[in-house]
Structure 1
Amino acid sequence: MSRINVLRGLAGGCAIAIWVATGAAAQPIDLTGQTVTIVHNAAPGGATGLGAQIAANAWAKTMAGAPTIVVQSVEGGALSRGILQVMNARPDGRTIGWLAWNGSTRILDPEPLQIPFANFGLIGGVGGATFLVHVSVDAENGPRDADDVVNLDHLRFGGYNPKSAPSMRTAAALDMLGVDYTFISGFSGDNPLEAALQRGEIDAYPATSVFYNQQLRDGPIAAGKSFSLFYFTGPNEAGDALLEDPFLPGEETFDAYFRRVTGSEPSGPEWEMIKYHGRVTDPINWLIVAPPGTPEDHLQMLRTSFAEATQDPEFLAEAERIFGRVPTISHFEQVEAIVEEIANTPPEMRDLMSSYIAKMER
């Protein structure tokens, strides 16, 4: 069993007990009467911002000094602007990042532009936002439903940028299905993508399961204006299939769709890349960090209080109400292991991802 799988098996209560014990004598930065800003790097109103807000409400009760916590959207720069704002913030305990991080593909940036996530004060991670490919119905040219997609001559799909794991997985899946496509970049969240779909600027995009449950399922999909195609999750233990998402009943995983429409098993480097992203990206859709240089005793307090906040029954109930599911919470050791695995991504996987970025940028 891999180090990550072992760490995923740690009980949250044990992790809290360890942190409380090691941090009991620490002297964290005094936040009494202070305002802490949680910076997220996507458009307001999407899954990233909603998650940051409900976490802020719970975290304010557990963070030492009981500070006021506000949430700020800093979007732009292919999700980099908010990350850089946190990276360059003073390590004074008053800035925290709630980041859609794309760590698995940012390792492909030119070395001077790479973001050193290992240097941040790693706190935790939040996952469980499965990505589901959402397609518009075109009454004149098709497709009318999911089975029509494999017969298309061309599909325009949108996404955050070529380096985002949902976009890259969608491109790889379309290649495996033999569907020609154009990728349209520069969107900062579910709402801008859906607006572009409704304007006819794109035909499809990978939507978060949060947005699917909140807006799409009972909205345009129920009205017959669009449909869900398939969704991506992490691989099972055997590595030969994707896990089913219990919060997407009736929808198909990509590999189930592939088997149904092609009559064959998924295989090849693109399939390995889809599983790779599911393994290292899906457990941590949002990386929770403090700026580099934040004192270790303060980080211990943040890790403990984050773990406590995200196990609070009110937080879990609110998260399930908003997201339609209880999110996956990763603690410091789990996050550290994933950051380490990404840093050690094999050269052949790096080369394949680089080739997809070049293809999608054309």
Structure 2
Amino acid sequence: MRRNILQLLSVFFMLSAAPVLAQNSFYQGKTVRIIVGASAGGGYDTYSRTIARHIGKHVPGNPTFAVENMPGAGFLISANHMYKVARPDGLTIGHFIGGLFLQQLLGKPGIEFDARKFEYVGAPGQDNYVLGVAKSTGITSIDQWLSSKTIVKLGGVGAGSATDDIPKVLATAIGLPIQLVSGYKGTADVRLAFNSGEVQGVCNSWESFKATWRKEVDSGEVNVVLQNIPKQHPDLPKIPLAISYAKTDEGKKLIRALVHSVGPTARPYMLPPGTPKDRVQILRRAFMDTMKDPEFLADAKKVKLDINALDGAELERNVHAVFDLDPALVPRAKEILK
């Protein structure tokens, strides 16, 4: 009798341990690639390299994580790669700008993915987009800029990127006088163009300004003059909100729908459609465990990265919400963001 009980317990423990052993055996000795849709040195790259240094210890089997940059076409090359080429085996994670989700809804040419079919791992932060202009323009406030009607050259990455889409909306909604110079491979390249005088400003997240434009911000070479978010960021109490300059109901609706919606989906990490659900869950848990890891947080602080994480399920809900855009605004949005 006792022998039978011991045999049953042995079988029970073997069955209980099987899923854990399978998880360990799959990732053990493997390398997980994080494909970043921008060039090295920008915010997307910096977040990814910081995460890659720490997330492996939170995945059963402790795989290696390596970052691969795949810039081009305003993040679109990497996004299409994740949907069409990357194997759905849990060994390739993508990171590109969430503004492409709205571009999918609006029918942007070249989009070959359906954002609603990706498996979302999480997001390290929710971006707060602001507009910065060069000291050399002489512009120190948005009121001065609007009244002077000075045309400022803003650097952009491409349609679907906040660097491009937000200024386009602001040009329509508040009459912002800009000339968009687009096609850079990432905000790191925009920064180089800014420092050489090729462009005079950029719409970027405050988080990226603090992390990768620190020298320009601290020296006063770039002045933040406008916040493109629903409420003021604690760091920027005196910088006005874009929506307060919209004079029409349409302008306010456009800013709420096309600008304020960008931040919560700006920095998604995702897996190809069809990735096994157990591996999705492993990576979701590992991602959120990393976001709470003291060593990761200390590392992020060193490079001025803000961490305000969303888990995979919440990020997925936010992405799906993008597709709930008021149908009445779709034709106008297509016209503005073309």
For the superposition of Structure 1 and Structure 2, which TM-score range results when normalised by the shorter chain?
0.7 to 0.9
Inter-CA distance 309–222: structure 2 relative to 1 (3 Å threshold) = closer
Report the Cα distance in structure 1 between the residues aligned to 2:169 and 2:109, rounded to whole angstroms.
25
Report the Cα distance in structure 2 between the residues aligned to 1:45 and 1:280, rounded to whole angstroms.
26
Alignment match, 1:46:
42
What is the Cα deviation at residue 266 of structure 1? 4.9
Task: Write the letter of the residue equivalent to 1:307.
Answer: M
Alignment match, 1:230:
226
Q: Aligned pair count?
A: 316
Q: What SS class does the counterpart of residue 328 from structure 1 fall into?
A: coil
Alignment match, 2:308:
328
Map Cα deviations across residues 316-346 of structure 1 (whole Å, 9 max, x no partner): 2322332353x22111221221222122322
Residues 191-340 of structure 1 aligned to structure 2 (within 5 Å): 191-214=188-211, 216=213, 219-233=215-229, 242-255=230-243, 258=245, 266-325=247-306, 327-340=307-320
Q: Does 1:31 align with 2:27?
A: yes
TM-score for both structures, normalised by structure 2: 0.83
Moved more, 118-127 or 208-217: 208-217
More helix by share: 2
Q: Which residues of structure 2 form unaligned runs of 5+?
A: 1-17
Alignment match, 2:90:
93
Map Cα deviations across residues 280-329 of structure 1 (whole Å, 9 max, x no partner): 3211221111122211111111111112111212222322332353x221
What is the Cα deviation at residue 123 of structure 1? 1.7
What is the Cα deviation at residue 198 of structure 1? 2.9
TM-score for both structures, normalised by structure 1: 0.78
Q: What SS class does the counterpart of residue 42 from structure 1 fall into?
A: coil
What is the Cα deviation at residue 73 of structure 1? 0.9
Report the Cα distance in structure 2 between the residues aligned to 1:343 and 1:178, rounded to whole angstroms.
27
Task: Write the letter of the residue equivalent to 1:283.
Answer: P
Inter-CA distance 357–173: structure 2 relative to 1 (3 Å threshold) = closer
Alignment match, 1:109:
107
Instruction: Work out whether residues 78 and 161 of structure 1, in 8 Å CA contact, stay in contact via their aligned partners in 2.
Output: yes
Instruction: Work out whether residues 108 and 354 of structure 1, in 8 Å CA contact, stay in contact via their aligned partners in 2.
Output: yes
Alignment match, 1:341:
321
Moved more, 147-156 or 45-54: 147-156
Larger Rg: 2
Alignment match, 1:143:
138
What is the Cα deviation at residue 354 of structure 1? 0.7
Alignment match, 1:353:
333
Pick aligned residue for 1:61 from 52, 57, 68: 57
Percent identity (aligned): 21
Report the Cα distance in structure 1 between the residues aligned to 2:57 and 2:37, rounded to whole angstroms.
24
Q: What SS class does the counterpart of residue 124 from structure 2 fall into?
A: strand
What is the Cα deviation at residue 153 of structure 1? 4.2
